[in-house]
Structure 1
Amino acid sequence: MEKVLIVSSTPKATEHLTKMLQMNRYSRIVAAMSGSEARRMMLDDGYDIVIINTPLPDEFGAELAVNLSETTSCGVLMLVKVDRADDVFSKVEDFGVFVVEKPMNTAMFYQAIKLISASRRRILGLKNENVRLQKKIEEIRLVDRAKCALIEYLGMTEAQAHRHIEKQAMDLRMTRREVAQGILQTYES
């Protein structure tokens, strides 16, 4: 279940948002009264969704929203009075922050929360894919370095070096990475 941080200067608004979230099956809900308190809480514990009920006592809330969006993988929702919503939206939209006008209707709030959850899952999926691809690139570089060592020290062609690494990996039931590391330890030490 996703953890939600509500940042609001008024206990009444915090209570109302908490009830709305609980009706939508969110149970891990924590509240902060200011932007600085929210920043401290984010350092101590990660949250999946942060709802900022503007304005806050120590800042408006846009700076907090942008900061959280840039430095964490949480979804950020700002609740802004209707007369400031367009201005705030233009400042935070490039950072992936969602803005909902106050007073808000319940359906719009739930829809925004669902969109934030969906976009956050997509972003996390892309981050995981990025990590996987970075590891693959690292493995390819390592294997290429091992091929170069075989070419340089054993006089193999590139095709022979490639075949040698592949064959060793199959014969020894090792990964290409492990074979390449062994070759590099032998010839680069």
Structure 2
Amino acid sequence: MDNVLLVSKSEKSTDSLSGLLREISSPTIDIVRSGSEARRILLEKEYDFVFINTPLTDEFGDGLSIYVSENTHASVVLLVKAEIEEQAEAKTEDYGVFVLSKPLSKHLMFKSIKLLEATKRRLEGVRKENIKLQKKIEDIRTINRAKYVLMEYLSMSEPQSHKYLERQAMDQRITKVEVAKRILSTYEN
């Protein structure tokens, strides 16, 4: 947990929460008092965690938690009074918002952060895998477009165009994608 955004209208709560966070880890903590300030700063900076201590000066905070969850990669923790914990969970659970009831114990906060950090690492792994797969799909599309161009302009069959791409890649010691891009730049321009 490196960068934390703490959204809380109460200075007393802000001090105790930031103190608790610093006992658990040594993050950089930015503090804002309202939902609108939080939305503004989230446009400028990435955070690992966003803690929202409800209610805020300009809104309750559940809407902000959903906004953060949908628009950033940050883990979101919504702090609410125990009486309304279930209601807050019902509103935000589909968005991956972690709801904790106040008052917080150091032990519960520590366990929650460890769980959220583990979840964040798993999601980051999935995100990286997704990026790799998207690149692979794009490469396949590029190769297929090049095959189509060879079929259209040089009257090759699909197996001939495939073999041509492979042979060129081998002969030139470059990838099939690079060969495909060269073919596309030659024939599509």
Range into which the TM-score falls when normalised by the shorter chain: over 0.9
Aligned to 2:125: 125
CA shift, 1:157, in A, is 2.3
Q: Deviations over 1:1-55 (max 9, x none)?
A: 5201111111111111111111112231111111111111111211110001111
TM (norm. structure 1) is 0.94
Q: Please give the alpha-carbon distance, in whole angstroms, between the structure 2 residues aligned to 1:46 and 1:152.
A: 47
TM (norm. structure 2) is 0.94
Q: 2:165 matched to 1:154?
A: no
Aligned to 1:87: 87
Q: Deviations over 1:75-104 (max 9, x none)?
A: 000111000000000000000000011112
Q: How does 1:129-148 map to 2 (within 5 A)?
A: 129-148=129-148
SS in 2 for 1:14: helix
Q: Please give the alpha-carbon distance, in whole angstroms, between the structure 2 residues aligned to 1:145 and 1:105.
A: 59
Aligned to 1:163: 163
Q: Deviations over 1:165-186 (max 9, x none)?
A: 1121121121211100111222
SS in 2 for 1:6: strand
Q: How does 1:36-115 map to 2 (within 5 A)?
A: 36-115=36-115
SS in 1 for 2:173: coil
Farther-moved stretch of structure 1 (159-168 vs 84-93): 159-168
Aligned to 1:14: 14
Aligned to 2:188: 188
Q: How many residues align?
A: 189
Structure 1 residues without counterparts, runs of 5 or longer: none
SS in 1 for 2:58: coil
SS in 1 for 2:7: strand
Greater than 4 Å deviation, 4+ residue runs? none
Q: Please give the alpha-carbon distance, in whole angstroms, between the structure 1 residues aligned to 2:182 and 2:30.
A: 50
Task: State the percentage of identical aligned residues.
Answer: 48
User: RMSD in angstroms over aligned alpha carbons?
Assistant: 1.3
CA shift, 1:156, in A, is 2.3
Q: Please give the alpha-carbon distance, in whole angstroms, between the structure 2 residues aligned to 1:167 and 1:123.
A: 39
CA shift, 1:124, in A, is 2.3
Structure 2 residues without counterparts, runs of 5 or longer: none
Farther-moved stretch of structure 1 (39-48 vs 49-58): 39-48
Q: Please give the alpha-carbon distance, in whole angstroms, between the structure 1 residues aligned to 2:22 and 2:106.
A: 13
